[in-house]
Chain A
Amino acid sequence: QKEVEQDPGPLSVPEGAIVSLNCTYSNSAFQYFMWYRQYSRKGPELLMYTYSSGNKEDGRFTAQVDKSSKYISLFIRDSQPSDSATYLCAMSQYNDYKLSFGAGTTVTVRA
């Protein structure tokens, strides 16, 4: 079993729809939870960063962490074609800079 599980998709939605992405994990020591976005032939870029449990909102993006269920989510509201990318979840333990990544979910937003 992988430490971080993420459905690779692909996921195709119409413009304006809500995109829902999620990851599950097995290591209860994870404390930091991130979402990275990767456009084709580019490096991943940090999108959202959350410490421990709870919700975080940034514009059209909302990240949720449920440590009791070992489950994290990313929601994209009013999705745009420019949101078409691969979204990777990542996690790390306290005081450990090493990141464990999910496989990434490829999202296409249709105009």
Chain B
Amino acid sequence: DAGVIQSPRHEVTEMGQEVTLRCKPISGHNSLFWYRQTMMRGLELLIYFNNNVPIDDSGMPEDRFSAKMPNASFSTLKIQPSEPRDSAVYFCASSLVQGEAFFGQGTRLTVV
């Protein structure tokens, strides 16, 4: 298996633009997570899905952020409109066993 695949790896966008991050989880995994990592706040859980259903989105910072999982093999995280303070590395992770999360390589987002 290729592991969790995220795209794009790097994204530079202007403030106010829409940004869409994509994730393909490991086949067979039933849980998917979106995390954000910054120097100041570390690794923060934004949202997680179980069997394609959002279970906990309490970490989503505000209404500008939305996430979808239309099927077991694909998820998106959208930011609209983007702001400079959204600059961070966004990780997607998937899991089959509790605690054993497999992370993608991350998307480094810069909003200028």
- Chain A positions within 8 Å of B, measured between CB atoms, are 32-34, 41-46, 49, 88, 90, 92, 95-104
Which residues from chain B contact A42 at a C-beta distance below 8 Å?
Answer: 105-106
Residue B100 interfacial (CB < 8 Å)? yes
Q: Closest CB of chain A to B35's CB: distance in Å? A: 8
Which residues from chain A contact B56 at a C-beta distance below 8 Å?
Answer: 98
Interface contacts beyond A32-B98, A42-B105: sample of 9 additional A-B pairs, CB < 8 Å, sorted by A: A32-B99, A33-B99, A43-B93, A44-B103, A46-B100, A92-B99, A99-B33, A101-B42, A102-B42
Report whether over half of chain B's contact residues are helix, strand or loop; otherwise say mixed.
strand
Q: State A95–B74 Cα separation when bound (angstroms).
A: 24
Count B-side interface residues using an 8 Å CB cutoff. 22
Most buried by B among A90, A96, A97: A97
Residue B31 interfacial (CB < 8 Å)? yes
CB <8 Å contact, A99 and B42: no
Contact A88-B43, Cβ < 8 Å, known A32-B98, A43-B91: yes
B42 contact from A45, A46, A96, A103, Cβ within 8 A: A103
A97 contact from B4, B42, B50, B91, Cβ within 8 A: B50
Q: Which residue of B lies closest to A97 (CB)?
A: B31
Within 8 A of A (CB), among B67-112: 91, 93, 95, 98-106
Q: State A70–B95 Cα separation when bound (angstroms).
A: 25
Q: State A100–B45 Cα separation when bound (angstroms).
A: 8
B99 contact from A34, A45, A104, Cβ within 8 A: A34
B102 contact from A34, A46, A97, A104, Cβ within 8 A: A46
